[in-house]
Chains A and B, each alone.
Chain A
């Protein structure tokens, strides 16, 4: 895994100001494997860098994680990695997902 300079911002805190209706039953983004740690380091590293919602994370032990719940629906991960490690990218179900109040 390529190394990152220290991430000092807590993005989970940042996106907590947003309004979401999270679709707990249906992930609108799926990766090639449920075993996130087994995903390609380089490809996953791209997603860590480009996702503005920090859905793709690598912790200090090098463990990878992914959670679609805070998705901003920009599609950047799709452009970066559809066909490598992003296997599904659909719009969230009816009335689900982010609801911008400012935009």
Chain B
């Protein structure tokens, strides 16, 4: 094989990139990580919650007991799942807690990326990776056959046997340098988030959680002004993450702006009491791939692999949002594939093809495939984001409101509210949704 500066260059030090770098370094490969943030995490944002199974698996396979799980800067262990249907001034919330959420290998934690990604960075660096921060990779270096042989960042060209591209959701290199299609506006959502600083005990009280534990809350309905999307809220150690996600193709024709919707959401009676008196300390934005399995681009090229968000490995099921656990697993698979290919002296698309089988035989692509009908079902189900949450509000109003008017039996009060929406239509839509899930 040709002489190169490094065995592997990793573009981006988020979940996929840092884990890829770590796994490759652990297999005694020379690794360079190029991160565009001044520090890892400086450009990253999540809702967000990390399902930890894939991180545990990586550390079990490679850490030799060097990593103490308790040292990982998670925020809170999520022990409550809450889902709310929001009307203009109503909220119907389901709260579920279970001992199963705390079991090893099943736990999830709220995270903040500025702190979490710096831990990832340290993990990769301590394994022997060379790290460059504060500079973006502008383009890929290719040989005369078109195979990727390195990166160009600033004035430097640096070469490697394999480049692992983990550049995140706004995947400029994958599109412009490798020819992946630009995601369509109905496949991508825009996320907006604010972080509110709040005393740790107050957070426990307001989220009804034990010390160091927290809740994950998802909202659907009025929060996005009826646009396809939803709201989220996560309890962190000493802050609360609150935000909205909405499909770009829908938001761009909405009756308001995403930031005004965010402002209104903060004042909704289901949200306002939780952040009352809290200081807003950061206002952030990020995209989220929502097209699911059908939007996964080609991710194996001559000399290059694409991992994490850049490969559109994200799942939004409405009641559950996943991305970081997929990123970690894909970063690991990319590194394992690259190391194997380098050892076999074949880093062509063929030599790197086992990345695809690794992904397809794992939960990453299997889960995305299972739910591949869901993104389109959700996109078409506009009443789920507007009229049904309102209907639920009306149903509960009629159940609970007492004003001295003689009451009709419950069924007679409720039936017209449902009938107005069309019972068959509702039943059909619910059946379609269940089939897609």
Indicate if the CB atoms of B191 and A52 lie closer than 8 Å: yes
Interface SS, A side: loop
List A contacts of B154 (CB < 8 A). Answer: 94
Contact with A along B334-346 (1 / 0, CB 8 A): 0000000000000
> Could you say which residues of chain A place their CB within 8 Å of the CB of B43?
73, 97-100
A74 cross-chain contacts in B, Cβ below 8 A: 170, 190-191, 285-287
Binding stretch for chain A, among B96-104, B121-129, B254-262: B254-262
Query: Smallest CB–CB gap between B82 and chain A, Å?
Result: 22
Q: Is B285 in contact with A102, judged by CB distance below 8 angstroms?
A: no
Q: In the bound complex, do residue A103 and residue B112 qualify as a contact, i.e. CB atoms below 8 Å apart?
A: yes
How would residues 19 to 48 of chain A score, 1 for a CB under 8 Å from any chain B CB and 0 otherwise?
001000000000000000000000001111
Cα A89 to Cα B138 in complex, Å, equals 12
Q: Contacting A95 at CB < 8 Å: which of B38, B41, B169, B253?
A: B38
Q: Assuming A98-B43, A100-B45, is B251 touching A49 (CB within 8 A)? A: yes
* B42 interface contact, C-beta 8 A: yes
- Complex alpha-carbon distance, A82 and B106, angstroms: 41
B182 touches A49 (CB 8 A): no
Within 8 A of B (CB), among A54-103: 54, 72-76, 78-80, 82, 89-92, 94-95, 97-103
- Cα A99 to Cα B35 in complex, Å, equals 13
Q: Which residues of chain B in 1-56 are interfacial with respect to chain A, using CB atoms and an 8 Å cutoff?
A: 36-39, 41-46
Q: Is B283 an interface residue (CB 8 A)?
A: yes
Number of A-B contacts (CB under 8 A): 154
Size bracket of the B interface: 35 or more
Docked pose: A92 CA to B172 CA in angstroms: 13
Q: Do A72 and B112 touch (CB < 8 A)?
A: no
Tell which of A11, A76, A100 touches B284, judged by Cβ atoms closer than 8 Å.
Answer: A100
A72→B251 CA distance, assembly (Å):
18
Contacts of B284 in A (CB 8 A): 18, 52, 72, 98, 100, 102-103
Cβ–Cβ contact A102 & B282, under 8 A: yes
Complex Cα distance A103/B283, Å? 9
B259 near A52 with CB under 8 A, answer: yes
A54-B285 Cα distance, complex, nearest whole Å: 11
Residues in A whose Cβ lies below 8 Å from that of B251: 49-50
Sample of 12 A–B contacts (CB below 8 Å): A7-B259, A11-B283, A14-B283, A21-B38, A50-B257, A53-B285, A72-B285, A74-B287, A78-B170, A90-B172, A91-B172, A94-B134
**Interface of B toward A, CB cutoff 8 Å:** 36-39, 41-46, 112-115, 117, 134-136, 138, 154, 169-170, 172, 182-183, 185, 188, 190-192, 194-195, 239, 241, 248, 251-260, 262-263, 280-287
10 residue pairs, one from A and one from B, having the closest CB atoms = A75-B170, A52-B285, A103-B113, A46-B252, A72-B285, A9-B263, A52-B192, A91-B136, A74-B285, A103-B114
Interface residue ranges, A against B (CB under 8 Å): 4-5, 7-9, 11, 14-15, 17-18, 21, 45-54, 72-76, 78-80, 82, 89-92, 94-95, 97-103
